[in-house]
Amino acid sequence: MTLSKVKMPYLLLLPGFLFLFTFFILPIVNLAQTSTQTPIAGGDTGQYEQTLRFANYLNAFTENKEQFARSFIFALCATILALAIAYPLAYAIAFKAGRLKNFLLVLVVAPFFVSFLLRTVAWKQILGEEGFVVPGLRTLGIISESTTLTSTSFAVIMGMTYNFLPFMTLPLYASLERIDPRTMEASGDLYANGLTTFRKVTLPLSMPGVVAGTLLTFIPAAGDYVNAAILGSPNTKMIGNVIESRYFKIVDYPTAAALSFTLMAAILILVTVYIRKAGTEELV
Amino acid sequence: MADVSSATRGDLRLTRITKTYGDFTAVNDLSLTIPEGSFFALLGPSGCGKTTTLRMIAGLEEPTVGSIHLGSTDITTKRPYQRPINTVFQNYALFPHLTIFENIAFGLRRRGIKDVDADVNKVLELVELPHLAQRKPTQLSGGQQQRIALARAIVNRPALLLLDEPLGALDLKLRRQMQIELKWIQREVGLTFVHVTHDQEEAMTMADTIAVMNEGEIEQMGSPADLYDNPETAFVANFLGQSNLIKGRIEGSDGDNLVVDLFGQKIAMPKKRSHAVDNSIYAGIRPEKFRISLVGTPTRGNILTGGRIEDVSYIGVSTQYQVLMPWGQELMVFEQNDDGVAPFDKGDEVVISWEPNFTFALRGDEDAEAGTEVIPEDLDEE
């Protein structure tokens, strides 16, 4: 093997490494440093010095327990809803769509042609008093005359479900599409009815897609603040909203940094436990 | 092993089955009885409707018209899981997320059988792979997967076992070995096997009865020897082995024989092997039934003179000759290399002779090329 062949893999890694080092590793080290700083005595707003005060973490967490809990509950609800909507959708595209397959896949990603913010604002209209949803539900008697949908937890969860749906659908589609339809036929041939075939063959074989889809939905949803900011109220604040306001409104960099790290750690632990439980390494 | 009720055992009867997809007719008015306990082959080229027929028996497709009976039970509209029929799929379709043991136990468990160990181990012994029980399908070779697919089906003791090109993905040597094993297993377990294949040699090696299919219909059905020695149509004559078909006319009869004129030369052939409807026929002779001799040497039986050797291919056990006849047709002759006689050379003037009993006659209005241009290697038919 020549020297250039030995070097080749490293050369290929170099651009990505340089990019991530500059724009990910350095900022995150910086963020870690910020998280243990304290205000300079007598200094201006936004002036901090390094004092290695790890109590910042405890304070940040205890002050925002409610928002942390809400973030994970909202993200969980949105993930479950998205899974419930995306699985039948991905299944239909993979096995029943025939020639429409590619067209439907384009439709799944079509929302990306419009900005994330615009789509979220649009939900404000849809769920607003002038939209068709609220009057419709009132006419049907499902909600009372005085009930509104905007600025509620419901609105935030719906917004997140909608915004992250493609991230759920695409991995599900990819893993369903890889299943040999003959294995499902074989299951039917071996005395399994439709439901049993789904439980024993289709679902287990699509688990890689379920795991990937739920992670791609849950992780960004837990850290999201746009949906809560646009569709929620002060009572539906998520941890992302707290971090945002600590940074840009209160200019409390250490607390914001500590919250960011706490969120990352929490997600990391949850994801590790989840992957262990789902046992993806067992799957082909 | 758990047996299905005796009511759903017995012969399989397909009655006037037609299956259409839009304008395309895959199977056309097909009737067929497969006796219990037999090894039955559906043989034909890609797109002949054999896989569609198999899928209708399995319940994976429903016939457009017609009915399917197993014994006295009408199973035409039964779902696959309601039929005492199991399939060995073309690419095995093993469950990749389950161990070999669980793959085989799948059908037993679905029928509510709790203690599956004895049955599964017994069938693993039968296919000689008990040591692989805890592996996953992807860790097995093609031949091993093939046996597991077979084990997964026969462990259920179905009334009928369907095999859809089961050896198609194996290399030639392994395929020959598995053909013999399959035949042995069929005798051992005593189940009815219905085997779909495009490989005529495979069908002839294994099956008791072969139905040759073409364009959605059965061309001819019979034992391998029947089909080979006495084909009724040009398609069967050409698809099963090779045939020389020579245009001719029936001139008269002589006892049990017909006298036939082939471009001015008279030959004899048995009446019972003629499938002609009038005087116009194709006389058929298999290439290995011909003998070649140089002009002037003694011959017996039917004789055709005026041949000249156009091409010689030496292939060890035999030599293949192309012999050009006076009427412009090239006849194919296979000579065994068992007599120590040096092969003939290109350009030799020769006489062709054969025993009259080996002659068969087809209708003169047939397409003599039918079944010859078929490329039987396409696995994903229909």
A189 with B86: Cβ contact below 8 A: yes
Q: Are residues B85 and B142 in the same domain?
A: yes
Q: What whole-number distance in Å separates Cα of residue B226 and Cα of residue B245?
A: 18
- Torsion angles phi and psi, residue B184, rounded to 5: -65, -45
Residues B150 and B247 in one domain: no
% of chain B exceeding 90 in pLDDT: 69
Q: Which residue of B has its CA nearest to A197?
A: B110
Give A2's pLDDT tier (boundaries 50, 70, 90): low
Indicate the pLDDT class of residue B321, thresholds 50, 70 and 90.
very high
Note the pLDDT of residue B341: 67
* Residue B61 belongs to a domain: yes
Contact B80 A283 (CB under 8 A): no
Question: Over the stretch B232-270, which tens digit does the pLDDT of each residue have?
Answer: 999 999 999 899 999 999 999 988 999 999 999 999 999
Q: Which of B180, B204, B229 is the last residue of a domain?
A: B229
Give the pairing type, strands B160-164 and B85-88. Answer: parallel
Task: Spell out which residues of chain A touch residue B96, defining contact as CB-CB under 8 Å.
Answer: 183, 205, 284
Would you call A180 and B93 a contact, using CB atoms and an 8 Å cutoff?
A: yes
Is B375 a member of any domain? no
Read off the pLDDT band of A106 (50, 70, 90): very high
Chain B interface includes A279 (CB < 8 A):
no
Of A189, A192, A283, the CB nearest to B97: A283
pLDDT at A5: 78
Same domain, B130 and B246: no
Nearest to A185 among B60, B152, B156 (CB): B60
Distance CA B212, CA A191 (A): 31
The answer to whether residue B145 sits within a structural domain is yes
CB pair distance less than 8 Å for A180 and B91:
yes
At residue A283 the predicted structure's pLDDT band, cuts being 50, 70 and 90, is: very low
Q: Is residue B371 part of a domain?
A: no
- Residues B47 and B161 grouped into a single domain: yes
Residues of B whose CB is below 8 A from A178 = none
Residue with tokens 């724009």: A23
The pLDDT assigned to A149 comes to 84
B348 contacts: CB under 8 Å, gap ≥ 6: B294, B308, B309
Distance CA B262, CA B256 (A): 19
What distance in Å separates the CA atoms of residue A153 and residue A146, rounded to the nearest whole number?
17
Smallest Cα distance from B110 to chain A, Å = 6
Average pLDDT over residues B64-82: 93
pLDDT tens digits for range B165-178: 888 877 888 888 88
Query: Which among B229, B262, B280 is the end of a domain?
Result: B229
Q: Mean of the per-residue pLDDT values for chain B?
A: 89
Of the two residues B113 and A284, the one the predictor is more confident about is B113
Alpha helices in chain B (DSSP H): 50-58, 100-110, 117-126, 142-154, 172-189, 200-206, 224-229, 234-239
B148, pLDDT greater than 80: yes
Q: Which of A282, A228, A218, A225 is nearest to A259 (CA)?
A: A225
Kindly state whether residue B376 falls inside one of the protein's structural domains.
no
Residue-level pLDDT at A134: 87
What is the reported pLDDT for B379?
43
Which residues in chain B are contacts of A98 at CB distance < 8 A?
none
> Tell me: the pLDDT tens digits for A137-167?
888 888 888 888 888 999 999 999 999 999 9
User: Hey, is A78 helix, strand or coil?
Assistant: helix
Which of A180, A191, A282 is facing B111, going by the closest CB pair?
Answer: A191
Tokens for B102, please give them.
């669980």
Nearest to B95 among A183, A193, A282 (CB): A183
Interface touch B110/A191, C-beta < 8 Å: yes
By CB neighbour count within 10 A (0-12 exposed, 13-18 middle, 19+ buried), where does B259 fall?
A: middle
What gap in Å lies between CA A267 and CA A271, rounded to an integer?
A: 6
Q: How many domains does chain B have?
A: 2
Neighboring chain B residues of A180 at a CB cutoff of 8 Å: 91, 93
CATH number, domain containing residue B255: 2.40.50.140
Closest CA to B162 of B304, B12, B8, B332: B12
Residues of B with Cβ-Cβ distance to A200 under 8 angstroms:
106
For residue B166, give both structure tokens.
Answer: 């089961």
Q: What is the pLDDT of residue B380?
A: 42
The two tokens of residue B71 are 């014994």
Confidence of residue B378 (pLDDT cuts 50, 70, 90): very low
Task: Identify whether B374 is part of a domain.
Answer: no
Smallest Cβ distance to A190: which of B59, B110, B138? B110
Residues in chain A within 8 Å Cβ distance of B86: 189-190
Does the beta-carbon distance from A205 to B97 stay under 8 Å?
yes
- A190 touching B, CB under 8 A? yes
B153: closest chain A residue by CA: A190
- List Cβ<8 Å contacts ≥24 apart for A49-52: none
Listed residues B185, B200, B229: the one ending a domain: B229
In terms of domains, do B184 and B324 share one? Answer: no
C-beta atoms of B81 and A191 within 8 A: yes
Query: Does residue B105 sit in the same domain as residue B213?
Result: yes
- Measure the CA–CA gap between B299 and B293, rounded to whole angstroms: 7
Residues B187 and B256 both lie in one domain = no
Give per-residue pLDDT as tens, B150-199. Answer: 999 999 999 999 999 888 877 888 888 888 888 888 988 888 999 999 99
- Percentage of residues in chain A with pLDDT exceeding 90? 70
Candidates B289, B255, B258; CA nearest to B276 is B258
Q: Is the pLDDT of residue A1 over 60?
A: no
Q: Average pLDDT in the B44-67 region?
A: 93
* Residue with the larger pLDDT of the pair A6 and B13: B13
- DSSP secondary structure letters along A34-72: HHTEEEPTT--TT-EEE---THHHHHHHHHTHHHHHHHH
* Chain-chain contact of B110 with A196 (C-beta, under 8 angstroms): yes
Say yes or no for a CB contact (<8 Å) between B96 and A284. yes
Which region among A42-46, B125-129, B325-329 has the lowest average model confidence (pLDDT)?
Answer: A42-46
Cα of B88 to nearest chain A Cα, Å: 8
Q: Indicate if B105 and B216 belong to the same structural domain.
A: yes
Task: Find all residues with CB under 8 Å of A114, minimum gap 6, and list them.
Answer: none
A196/chain B closest Cα distance in angstroms? 8
Characterise A164 by phi-psi region: left (phi > 0), alpha (psi -120 to 50), beta (else). alpha
* Ordered domains of chain A (ranges, CATH): 70-96+115-238 (1.10.3720.10)
Task: Report the gap between the CA of A190 and the closest CA in chain B (Å).
Answer: 5
The answer to whether the Cβ–Cβ distance between B95 and A187 falls below 8 Å is yes
A163 Cα distance to chain centroid = 9
B34 lies in some domain: yes
Is B104 in contact with B153 (CB distance < 8 Å)?
no
The mean pLDDT value for B4-8 works out to 51
The verdict on B190 and B285 lying in the same domain is no
Nearest CA in chain B to A283: B97
d(CA A207, CA B370): 50
DSSP characters over B106-173:
HHHHHTT-S--HHHHHHHHHHTT-GGGTTS-GGGS-HHHHHHHHHHHHHTT--SEEEEESTTTTS-HH
Looking at this protein, which amino acid is placed at residue A249?
A: K
pTM: 0.81
Whether B247 and B216 share a structural domain: no
pLDDT of residue B340: 64
Determine, for residues A191 and B156 on separate chains, whether the beta-carbon distance falls below 8 Å.
yes
Count A/B contacts: CB-CB distance under 8 Å: 70
Looking at A1-10, A205-214, B329-338, which range is the least confident one?
A: A1-10
Whether A204 has its CB under 8 Å from any CB of chain B: the answer is: yes
Query: Could you tell me the residue range of the domain that residue B188 belongs to?
Result: 6-229
> From the CA of B86, how many Å to the nearest CA of chain A?
6
Residue B246 covered by a domain: yes
Rounding to the nearest 10 degrees, give the CA dihedral for residues A112, A118, A124, A129.
Answer: -110
B160 shares a domain with B73: yes
Asked if the C-beta of A205 comes within 8 angstroms of chain B's C-beta atoms, the answer is: yes
**How many C-beta neighbours within 10 Å does residue B189 have?**
15
Q: Which residues of A touch B153 (CB under 8 A)?
A: 189-190
DSSP H or E stretch at residue A8: helix A3-20
Q: Say if the Cβ atoms of B89 and A200 lie within 8 Å.
A: no
Best residue in A189, A196, A206 to probe B by mutation, most B CBs within 10 Å?
Answer: A189
- Quote the ipTM score: 0.80
Q: Tell me the average pLDDT across B265-287.
A: 93
Whether B132 and B93 map to the same domain: the answer is yes
